[in-house]
Structure 1
Amino acid sequence: MNKNFIKLVKALVIILGIGWLLGQLIRYFLRSKLAKFAQQVNEAAREQQQSQNRNSTPKNGNVHVDHIPENFKAKRSKEIKGGDYVDYEEIKE
């Protein structure tokens, strides 16, 4: 029984050692793959942002308006009547 117990303990130690070693190897490879993937995602995002910045900046003298609210023109035409003259006097103290 003593020999069987020693064999069992050896087997358990070997199995635990192999399991620990595999866990460490898997952890190392997953970290390296995850870091590589994160670097690729960051690079793609950086390139996309740079291309958007290049495309969205207007050249000298050019202005691009994406959206003008519909009620903006209606408000503006009602507020400004034009041609009204207001006479005023300067008050000196």
Structure 2
Amino acid sequence: MLKFLIVILGVGWLLGQLIRYFLRSKVAKFAQQVKKAAEEEQRASRKPQEEGEVHVDFIPKTYQERRTKDIKGGDYVDYEEVKE
């Protein structure tokens, strides 16, 4: 009975060490991927834009839908002609 408990504890300890090793390697690999992606994004955001150039990264879908449905042919603005 004592041998059985020692073997079970030894196998449990060994499995724990192996799992810990594999988890650390997976976490390290994931961290490298995240770091690489962040560097690429930072490199892409550093591109110099010419003066007067406008770049939009993201337009919310709700804004696009509302914009296309509200504006048809332009807006009408009342004005009063002032003669001097």
By the TM > 0.5 criterion, same fold? yes
Question: How far off its partner does 1:34 sit?
Answer: 0.4
1:78 is paired with a residue whose SS is coil
Structure 1 spans left out of the alignment, 5+ residues: 1-11, 88-93
Residue number in structure 2 paired with 1:18: 7
> What RMSD over aligned residues (CA atoms) do the two structures have, in Å?
3.4
Residue 74, structure 1, aligned to residue 71, structure 2: yes
Structure 2 spans left out of the alignment, 5+ residues: none
**Cα distance change, pair 58–79 in 1 and its aligned pair in 2 (3 A):** farther
Larger radius of gyration between Structure 1 and Structure 2 = 1
| TM-score where L is the length of structure 2 | 0.61
Residue number in structure 2 paired with 1:64: 55
Listed one character per residue, the Cα deviations across residues 8-65 of structure 1 (whole Å, up to 9, x for unaligned) are xxxx111110110111011011111101111111110121122122224441424322
Identity %: 19
Separation of aligned partners in 1, 2:77 and 2:43: 38
Residue 37, structure 1, aligned to residue 34, structure 2: no
Which structure has greater helix proportion? 1
Separation of aligned partners in 1, 2:77 and 2:47: 30
| TM-score where L is the length of structure 1 | 0.57
Number of residue pairs aligned between Structure 1 and Structure 2: 75
Residue number in structure 2 paired with 1:55: 44
Deviating beyond 4 angstroms after TM superposition, the runs of 4 or more aligned structure 1 residues are 79-82, 84-87
Q: Which has the higher contact order (CA 8 A, sep 6+)?
A: 1
